[in-house]
């Protein structure tokens, strides 16, 4: 019989909680992705319908990202919030230039608009996930107002 103080079991329990927490952060994104996928499938390759699907999904993702920024700013130290604001400005410039490049790579035509919106949506969702994970870490110092 092995002597045990239960620390291995405690570590597994904590690991399980962390995994569940990460899954809960991603669940709304999976639902949004599924709605967008269904809309795109129903669009049947019709450009105007694809643009509508992606525009709607992008608007929702941008609203979600903005709300997450607001929540995050309320929870972090003011200096960290200032740095996050600067990071946000740089990220927005990065997103625009990256998606302009992806649209150009789509060889022009009507599909370049779809490619650009799809890129904006993808990068916005990625940023939302990053923001949720990076700033919901319990080890980050919070402002004690």
| CATH of residue 74 | 1.20.1270.180
CA distances from 92 to 33, 49, 50, 62, 88 (A): 21, 26, 23, 11, 6
Residues above pLDDT 70, as percent of the chain? 66
CA distances from 64 to 87, 124, 135, 137 (A): 18, 9, 15, 19
Q: Is residue 120 a part of any domain in this protein?
A: yes
Secondary structure letter of residue 107 according to DSSP: T
For the cut 80, the answer to whether the pLDDT of residue 17 exceeds it is: no
Residues above pLDDT 90, as percent of the chain? 50
Q: Is residue 101 a part of any domain in this protein?
A: yes
Q: Is residue 67 a part of any domain in this protein?
A: yes
For the cut 50, the answer to whether the pLDDT of residue 3 exceeds it is: no
Q: Is residue 50 a part of any domain in this protein?
A: yes
What band does 116 get if pLDDT is binned at 50, 70 and 90? very high
For the cut 60, the answer to whether the pLDDT of residue 23 exceeds it is: no
Average pLDDT over residues 132-142: 69
Q: Is residue 5 a part of any domain in this protein?
A: no
**Contact indicator for 127, 65 with CB cutoff of 8 Å:** yes
Q: Is residue 20 a part of any domain in this protein?
A: no
Give the tens place of pLDDT for each residue, 67-111: 999 999 999 999 999 999 999 999 999 999 999 999 999 877 778
For the cut 50, the answer to whether the pLDDT of residue 144 exceeds it is: no
How many separate domains does the chain show? 1
What's the pLDDT at 138? 57
Q: Is residue 18 a part of any domain in this protein?
A: no
Question: Which residues 6+ apart lie within 8 Å of 102 measured at CB?
Answer: 115, 116, 118, 119
Q: pTM of the predicted model, to two decimals?
A: 0.71
Q: 82 is in which domain, residue-wise?
A: 32-135
Q: Is residue 144 a part of any domain in this protein?
A: no
Secondary structure letter of residue 143 according to DSSP: -
- The candidate with the shortest Cα–Cα distance to 61, out of 92, 29, 21, 93, is 29
What's the pLDDT at 21? 47
**Contact indicator for 36, 121 with CB cutoff of 8 Å:** yes
């Amino acid at each position: 019989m092995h002597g045990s103080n239960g620390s291995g079991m405690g570590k597994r329990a904590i690991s399980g909680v962390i995994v569940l927490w990460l899954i809960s952060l991603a669940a709304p994104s999976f639902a949004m992705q599924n709605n967008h996928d269904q809309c795109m499938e129903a669009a049947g390759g019709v450009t105007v319908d694809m643009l509508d699907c992606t525009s709607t999904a992008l608007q929702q993702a941008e609203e979600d990202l903005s709300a997450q920024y607001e929540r995050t700013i309320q929870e972090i130290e003011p200096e960290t919030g200032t740095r996050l604001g600067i990071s946000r400005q740089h990220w927005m410039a990065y997103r625009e230039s990256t998606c302009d490049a992806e649209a150009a790579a789509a060889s022009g035509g009507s599909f370049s608009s779809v490619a650009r919106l799809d890129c904006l949506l993808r990068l916005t969702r990625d940023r939302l996930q990053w923001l949720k994970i990076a700033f919901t870490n319990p080890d980050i110092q919070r402002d004690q107002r």
